Amino acid sequence: MVSAPATPTPTPSEDTDASPRLGSRRLQDVVIAIEAMNKWYGAFHVLRDISLQVHRGERIVLCGPSGSGKSTLIRCINRLEEHQSGRIVVDGVELTNDVRHVEQIRREVGMVFQHFNLFPHLTVLENCVLAPIWVRKEPRRVAEERAMRLLERVKIPEQASKYPGQLSGGQQQRVAIARSLCMQPKIMLFDEPTSALDPEMIKEVLDTMISLAEEGMTMVCVTHEMGFAKTVADRVIFMDQGQIVEENDPHTFFTNPVNDRTRLFLSQILHH
């Protein structure tokens, strides 16, 4: 049975002064709506009653201690992991077992992983055009032109004919970002994209993410880069033991955390 696309909670569409704001910007429609979602790994209750709404163009940073469920949560958003109860609606499509919905979501939601996940036996350009050609059935020329534009945007067009193993970690991660963008996603998920990088390469990847944010991409980022959270995020969400414990704008989150667990976490990472 095909379930009807669900409608996320509506938000004001008219651009009136009364519409809610996101910093200096106006809140737009909800693109990710998670309602009372739970997930178990066997008997282990890994995500507990998660409710979260992400608006178009919003930049969310998810943080929290190791094992708190951050990766699992963002992997549920593109159905790399299944949830067992509650609802996840992405751009008006509810995530169910219906493969058509899953395919649609995978096309609209790009994901960048800690360990790049590039195909080592394919060149940078081939990595970038693989999904557009095979999933979106694009002509090779169209896919390659877009891939080259995106490799220019992440500032490594000269690496197009190299293999991933010939690049630095920072360059490989920028290829991974360009590869995701080749599918023209509406939402980008980042799972600790800088954690596997040497310190001197972290900045180049963060700069790429910052420029994406400036262009209005909707982003959900799991990261320990609190400088990025402070300057780029519209909202910082703190998770612990599978729950969203606290969320706020970055200024309030970092200067006036309410929950004891948030305070403890911040004191540990900010003084590290």
Ligand X SMILES: Nc1ncnc2c1ncn2[C@@H]1O[C@H](COP(=O)(O)OP(=O)(O)OP(=O)(O)O)[C@@H](O)[C@H]1O
Contact between 119 and ligand X per CB under 6 A: no
The rounded distance, in Å, linking the Cα atoms of 179 and 134 is: 13
* Residue 68 touching ligand X (CB under 6 A): yes
Q: Which of 27, 55, 71, 213 binds ligand X (CB under 6 A)?
A: 71
Position among 69, 170, 185, 257 found at the interface with ligand X (CB under 6 A): 69
Q: Which is nearer to ligand X, 68 or 180 (CB)?
A: 68
Residues numbered 46 to 65 that lie near ligand X (CB under 6 A) are 46, 64
* Neighbour-count burial of 98, counting CB atoms closer than 10 A to its CB (0-12 exposed, 13-18 middle, 19+ buried): middle
From 80, 88, 81, 82, select the one nearest 50 (Cα to Cα).
88
Would you count residue 66 as binding ligand X (CB under 6 A)?
yes
> Do the beta carbons of residue 65 and residue 265 sit within 8 Å?
yes
How many residues interact with ligand X (rule CB under 6 A)? 11
Judged by beta carbon, residue 109 or residue 181, the one nearer ligand X is: 109
Residues 234 and 210 sit within 8 Å (Cβ to Cβ): no
Amino acid in the structure at residue 243:
Q
Q: Is 82 in the site for ligand X (CB under 6 A)?
A: no
Give me the least distance between CB of 222 and ligand X, in Å please.
6
Q: Looking only at residues 188 through 247 of this chain, which bind ligand X when binding is defined by CB under 6 A?
A: none
CB count, 10 Å around CB of 217? 19
Element (H, E) at 105: helix 99-108
The window from 68-76, 103-111, 150-158, 257-265 that contacts ligand X (CB under 6 A) reads 68-76
Residues making contact with ligand X (CB under 6 A): 41, 44, 46, 64, 66-72
